[in-house]
A = this chain, B = another copy of it.
Amino acid sequence: MNGEVHARLAWVAVDWGSSHLRTWAMDARGEVLARAGSGIGMLALSPEHYEPALLEAIGDWLPVSGHVPVWICGMAGARQGWREAAYLPVPTRLDQLTRGAVAPTVRDPRLHVRLLPGLCQHADDAARGFDVMRGEETQLAGLVALEPDFTGLVCLPGTHAKWVWLEAGTVMRFATSLTGELYALLASQSVLKHSVSAARLDEPGCSEAFATAVHEAATDPGRFSQRLFALRAADLLDDSLPHGQARRLHLDARLSGLVIGLELSVLADELRHDAPVTLIGSTELCSRYALALEALGCSSRRFDGEATVLAGLGLAEANSRHRARD
């Protein structure tokens, strides 16, 4: 396989987050030739360790001579990462991310590394609050590469879920909710850990329990903190719940629904029922958000997380080649 990679390698795509490194060997047409990765993320690295960690992952793909463009998005470009690629303030055109890219110092002459910047938002009198993203902007650029001049509302679910308002390929504003982190802390560290067990929504009754909880939290967010404790009390008192593991799955679906419903509450006024929300991420998480949106009468469509990050890094690579040619 490495023979084919060596023959066709045009550039390397890298998504380098807080706790992961994912790399792809790409050919000139944007096809994936090979994948590699590790759990060595920004939190585990100081600046001088990035190049060895990168070579460990992609060294086998590199030619003996010549140089290979390497495009990196994510936390590797944070202040505490390899080298800081300062945030671009919104509004920002997503096909212009390369303007904020920086090149860290590398020793291996075959590597031509660029780190893409994140986006930041300062608070103003409109609906904007202080906010930052790093990594998701590249997926959004990928969406715009796949659908030029995209206009609409995009959601990237996850540890820190992002909602992004795009107009003709420009990020106008965005808002981050602590949803994934809040769920994980409550499910694994709070008193609720005794009552829940991570549920897939295709378990019997779980999607209904989830959708009901989404609706409750989205329409009555002020009772959120009470509804959390009520999950524990229901576990102790509610005879109508199933028993054993089924009970824990049911309560987990409710907990997940409450946390996602809280996130959606503020958006209820902005969710236009004629226009679908564009979800970017994994099948499992996006299905959950699709169901949550459905519970509020909204439709959605999904783009794959990996496909958008590769399209976004590919757009940066293509823009850079065009500029070099001009």
- Chain A contacts to B: CB under 8 angstroms: 120-123, 129-132, 160, 175-179, 181-182, 185-186, 189-191, 218, 220-230, 232-234, 236-238, 259, 262-263, 265-266, 268
Contacts and interface: CB of A to CB of B under 8 A. Distances in A.
A238 B122 CA distance: 8
Nearest to A218: B222
Nearest to A18: B191
- A-B pairs, top 9 by smallest CB distance, nearest first, are A222-B265, A177-B225, A130-B233, A222-B266, A176-B229, A221-B221, A221-B222, A130-B234, A178-B228
Given A179-B225, A185-B185, A225-B263, 6 more contacts: A121-B233, A129-B227, A129-B233, A130-B230, A132-B236, A226-B266
Given A185-B185, A221-B224, A237-B122, A178 B262 contact: no
Task: Provide the main secondary structure of the chain A interface.
Answer: helix
Contacts of A233: 120-121, 129-132, 176
Contacts of A122: 237
25 contacts: A120-B237, A121-B233, A123-B230, A129-B226, A129-B233, A130-B236, A130-B238, A132-B237, A160-B191, A177-B225, A177-B228, A178-B191, A178-B229, A182-B190, A185-B189, A185-B190, A189-B189, A221-B221, A221-B265, A222-B262, A223-B265, A224-B224, A225-B263, A226-B263, A226-B266
Contacts of A265: 221-223
B226 A130 contact: no
A232 B78 CA distance: 14
Most buried by B among A129, A176, A224: A224
